Structure 1
Amino acid sequence: MLTDDEFWELVATLGARPDAQDDTPYEELTEKLAQGPVDRITGFAEVLARQLYELDRRYLAQGTGLSDDGFLYARCAVVVAGREVVATVLADKAAFAPYATDEAAHAESILDVASNAYRLKTGREWDHIEKFDYETGSNEKWW
């Protein structure tokens, strides 16, 4: 498995730039994950899903004008920005606004990292289903 600290170290390799329109950091992270054991890849997917699930809150989505997918991509941007940003957004709704943009939507690339790493490592299609559903509206407690 993967600890939260290990997850955030891996995410930090993306450069905390969710608005960057460059796939290179995501490709490098994919390759790095593929060099390790499969359980590290699935662990990355699990921690990512949990982080996105925790950010799935109606009060963050309201007033942004984002579609369900857009809100998911904005949550990806918050995760790409780093652990401290996630904590800040959860504590202060106003801190979410800079991530609810079209530019930050490129951070959705983090959603493909684990499946691409798995395919690169094993040559097989990704069939792992994470414990937490990160689709918009899945966190019933906060919707």
Structure 2
Amino acid sequence: MTDFWKVIGSSPMRDASEIESALEEISRKLSAMTPTVLTRFVELLRESLYRIDRRNLAEVPVVLAPGLKLPQTSDHFLYARCACILAGEEAYNDVLSSGVGFDRFVAPFAQEAEGLLYLASEQYERKTGSKMNVESDFSIESMSNVQGWAD
């Protein structure tokens, strides 16, 4: 089994070009994987997204300009979590343990990290000719149930 975080690597996440480069590198690594390993990668991605699905992170505002802040939408929050994962294991664990630093993943350019959601399934479809079907406790659809939101 390929280590999830070795596939992800790390990116400074300073602009959209760094996100694009990170996604290209991950896609290259995924292209060498078997359909079974690609499915496991998606399961681990979903679990990682779920683990940082927290109210305090969802409430970090999007800053469009000095003095102009907007709340995140559910899609924006999902893509911000993808950006956090693209930043690498250390950045992810820092956010997971303290919530500190998540604001940089809410930046509008970080929305390009959405592509992470589709890389493994695209490679799977290329290899098998069929769509990936992942049975998981951590589905994308259930991610609007942010941990701790009922508090």
Shorter chain as denominator, the TM-score bin is 0.7 to 0.9
Tell me how many residue pairs correspond in the alignment. 137
Q: CA deviation at 1:28?
A: 4.2
* Alignment partner of 1:45 is 2:42: yes
CA contact (8 A) 1:45 1:130 kept: no
Mapping of residues 1-143 of structure 1, within 5 Å: 1-2=1-2, 6-12=3-9, 15-18=10-13, 19-21=15-17, 23=20, 25-64=22-61, 65-135=71-141, 136-139=143-146, 141-143=147-149
Q: Which has the higher strand share?
A: 2
Q: CA deviation at 1:24?
A: 5.0
Moved over 4 A (4+): none
- Give, in whole Å, the separation in 2 of the partners of 1:59 and 1:120: 38
Structure-1-length-normalised TM-score? 0.83
* 1:127 partner SS: coil
Q: Which has the larger radius of gyration?
A: 2
Identical pairs, percent = 34
Q: CA deviation at 1:27?
A: 3.8
1:6-48 CA distance string (max 9 Å, x none): 1000001xx5144334645424433432322111101110111
Structure-2-length-normalised TM-score? 0.79
CA RMSD, 1 decimal: 2.0
Distance change (3 Å), C-alpha of 1:28 and 1:85:
closer
Point out where structure 2 has 5 or more consecutive residues left out of the alignment: 62-70
Q: Which has the higher helix share?
A: 1
